[in-house]
Structure 1
Amino acid sequence: MQTVLVTGSAGFIGFHLCRRLLKDGFRVIGLDAMTDYYDVALKEARLAQLPRSNAFVQITGQVEDEGLVMRLFQEHRPDYVIHLAAQAGVRYSIDNPRSYLESNICGSFEILEAGRAYPPRHMLLASTSSAYGANTAMPYRETDKADHQMSFYAATKKATESMAHSYAHLFDLPVTMFRFFTVYGPWGRPDMALFKFTKAILNGDPIDVYNHGDMKRDFTYIDDLVTGIRLLMDAVPQRPEDGVVPEGDSLSPVAPFRVVNIGNSEPVQLTDFIAAIETATGREAIRNLMPMQPGDVPATWADAALLLKLTGFVPSTDVGTGVAHFMRWYQDHYDTGKPSSDG
C-alpha cells in the first residue's frame, strides 16, 4: 500500500482528495491546522465523512511549525506528497498578509526541506490561476510569463513555484505545481462566491456582485479537479537530458519540474453563474452591484491542453450540473443537519 501525505486534509479540496485516494487504495496521512479562518465545524464534518482505519491517519498541526513536517516524513516515508495547506482567499490577503507569508511561504519551505531529506516519488504542490496576474491573453497557458501578480495571495503562490523549482533543480526532486481555476462544489468554503450567494439568496439577502457582474471565471467542479490531481500523481516529471522541452510543455529544461493548469477551459460570465444558482434555488437574487475588488482580475480561462496530454483527461462538468450538486448538499447539510454524501 503506497502512502500519500495530504496537507490541508480537512479543507474543501483536501477532504475530497483524501476520500478519492482512500477509495483508490492508498494509505493517507492527513495534516490540517483546523484554523478558524472559517467555521471549524464544517472542517470537522468533512473529516467525519472519512473512514477511520489503518489506511487513514489525521494529524492536527500547522505545516509551518518547524520540524513537524520533517517528523511526518521521517515516520511515514510518503511515496507521494500533495501540499494543499495554505491561507486562501484573495480579499483576505489585503487585510492579513502575514498569515499568507507564514502559511504559504514558510509552510511550503518546510514541505520542500522534508522532501529534500526524505525524497518521495513525486511532490505535487497547489498553486493558483491568480499567479497569471495581469496577463490579458486568454486562455492562460502554463508557458506564459507570469510576472505581475495582483494580490499578495497570488504573490505567495508564485513564490512557492519558484522555491519548488530551485529544490527540484538542486536536489532532483520531481515536482508538479498545479494551478487551480475557481473550484466549487459540495463541502465548499463559506467564503467562496457559490456558498455566499446561495446562503444570501435563500435568506432573501442581497449579494455583492463585483465589477457590476462583468467578470468571467473558469469554474471547475471539485470532482474534476480531484481527478486531475489523482492522474497527475502518475505523470512524474523528468529532467530532460538534453535540456530540450517539447513544444507546449511547461517542463523545466534544468529540473524535474512542471506547472499544469487544472481548469474547465470554458469561462463563464458571473451573471450566468448567478443565474444557475437562481435556477437551483428557485429564487431570484437581489444584486448589490459593486466596483472591482482590489487584487481581483476581470477574467480567468485555462488552457488545459497540457493536462490532457499528460493524463488523457480534462474537466467537463458544466456549471448548471455542478451548482445543482452543490445545492443538494447545501440544503441537506444545513436544512436537516445531516451531512450528505453527494459530491
Structure 2
Amino acid sequence: MKILVTGCAGFIGFHTAQRLLARGDEVIGLDNLNDYYEVSLKEARLAQLRWQASFRFHKLDLADRAGMAELFARERPQRVIHLAAQAGVRYSLQNPHAYVDSNLVGFMNVLEGCRQHGVEHLTYASSSSVYGLNSSMPFSVRQNVDHPISLYAASKKANELMAHSYSHLYRLPTTGLRFFTVYGPWGRPDMALFLFTRAILEGRPIDVFNNGDMQRDFTYIDDIVEGVVRTSDHVASANAQWHGATPDPSSSSAPYRLYNIGNHRPVPLLRLIELLEQALGRTAQKRLLPMQAGDVPSTYADIDALQQAVGFSPTTPIETGIPRFVAWYREHYGVSESFPKA
C-alpha cells in the first residue's frame, strides 16, 4: 500500500509513519517543518524515518496549491492519512490566520488531491475541541458540536463539514478522528506534560489552570496510532440506516464517518502532576491560575462507535505512559536521573 502521511515530522504523524513502515507499507511523508515549536525536534523525528528505503519525504506547505497538486499527480497515493495542521488552542488566539491557511486552505488542497486522483480513503485528524460548550459526558460523535470556543476548534469542525461535502458529491470515502489529549515519547513541547516536565526539571513553577480543577482523557500515542491505522484500513462506507429526518452526525448516506479516539478514562490534572512528580523524583511548584480563554474543564471520549467499527480499545494506563515519556525525555535531552530533589 502506498500511503501519504501529512505532518510526518509531527508527533502523531511520525509515529503513524513508523508503524506503517514497520508493516511494509510505502510511505510518502509531507511536512513544512514550521517553527510553531522547536524545529530540531521535528528534524530528529524525521531522521528516524529517512533511513528507510520505503519512505520518501517532501518538504511542502499544505497551502501551496500548485505544489500539492503536483505531489498528488507524481506520487498517486492509494490512501491518505492527513495529520498535518496548525495545532494549538491557545495559539489560535494569537495567530488566527495560520489556522485558515493550514487547516482550511490546506485541507481543501488535500481533498482536491484525493478527488482528482481516486484516493481509496482519506483519514484525517479532527479534535476533541470541537465539543466546545457541550457539557454532556462522555462526549459522543452523535452529539451536536455547533458551539466551538476557539478558532482551532472551529477549523476542525469545518474540516468535518468539508469532508462530508466531498464524500457526498464525489463518493470520496472520508473518516475523521477526534483525538483526545495525546501524549507520549516524541510528544509536542506545547502540551502540558512536556511543559510540566521541562519546568520541573529546571526548577521553575508550573502553570496550573482553573486552579487544577480540570480533567483530560489522556491518550497514549501507541493507542492513538493503533486506532489511526485500523481506521485507515477500514474504508468508510455509507450508513444504509441514515435518514435526513433524524440525521446522525457521525455518519451519512455518503461514505463518511466520524469517530472519537481517546483513552475513555478521564484523569484529573492534579493526578497527572502527581504521577509526573513520582517519575521525575521531584516536587512541582504549582502556580494556580484561572481558566484560559478557549479552554474547557473536562474531556471524556465515548469510543463505542470506534470499538464497534474497528475493534479499537486503548490498553495503556497513564501510570504506564507517563514513566515512558519521562524516560524518553531524559534520553533525548540528556537529562541525568541523578539530580538533587527540590
Q: In the TM superposition, what are the counterparts of 1:94-109 in structure 2 within 5 Å? A: 94-109=93-108
Q: How far has the Cα of 1:193 moved from its partner? A: 0.4
Aligned to 2:180: 181
Listed as ranges, the gaps of 5+ residues in structure 2 are 337-342
**Aligned-partner SS, 1:164:** helix
Aligned to 1:333: 332
Q: Distance in 1 between matches of 2:335 and 2:148?
A: 42
Aligned to 1:305: 304
Letter in 2 for 1:155: A
**Is the 1:248–1:306 Cα contact (8 Å) retained in structure 2?**
no
Letter in 1 for 2:7: G
Q: In the TM superposition, what are the counterparts of 1:33-182 in structure 2 within 5 Å? A: 33-182=32-181
Q: How far has the Cα of 1:237 moved from its partner? A: 1.6
Aligned to 2:339: none
Q: Deviations over 1:32-73 (max 9, x none)?
A: 000011111101111111252431001101011112222121
Aligned to 1:340: none
Letter in 1 for 2:48: Q
Q: Deviations over 1:161-202 (max 9, x none)?
A: 101100110000000000000000000111110100001111
Q: Distance in 1 between matches of 2:21 and 2:98?
A: 31
Letter in 1 for 2:162: M
Letter in 2 for 1:154: A
Provide the TM-score with structure 1 as the length reference: 0.95
**Aligned-partner SS, 1:258:** strand
**Aligned-partner SS, 1:50:** helix
Q: Distance in 2 between matches of 1:53 and 1:303?
A: 37
Letter in 1 for 2:201: L
Q: Distance in 1 between matches of 2:236 and 2:41?
A: 35
**Is the 1:132–1:140 Cα contact (8 Å) retained in structure 2?**
yes
**Aligned-partner SS, 2:168:** helix
Aligned to 1:230: 229
Q: Distance in 1 between matches of 2:146 and 2:249?
A: 16
**Aligned-partner SS, 1:54:** coil
Q: Deviations over 1:280-299 (max 9, x none)?
A: 10100000000000000000
Aligned to 1:323: 322
| Greater mean deviation of Cα atoms: 67-76 or 191-200 | 67-76
**Aligned-partner SS, 1:49:** helix
Q: Matched residue pairs, number?
A: 335
The percent identity for this pair of structures is: 52
Letter in 2 for 1:193: A
The two structures, once aligned, show a CA RMSD in angstroms of 1.7
**Aligned-partner SS, 2:253:** coil
**Aligned-partner SS, 2:233:** coil
Q: Distance in 2 between matches of 1:252 and 1:170?
A: 15
Provide the TM-score with structure 2 as the length reference: 0.95
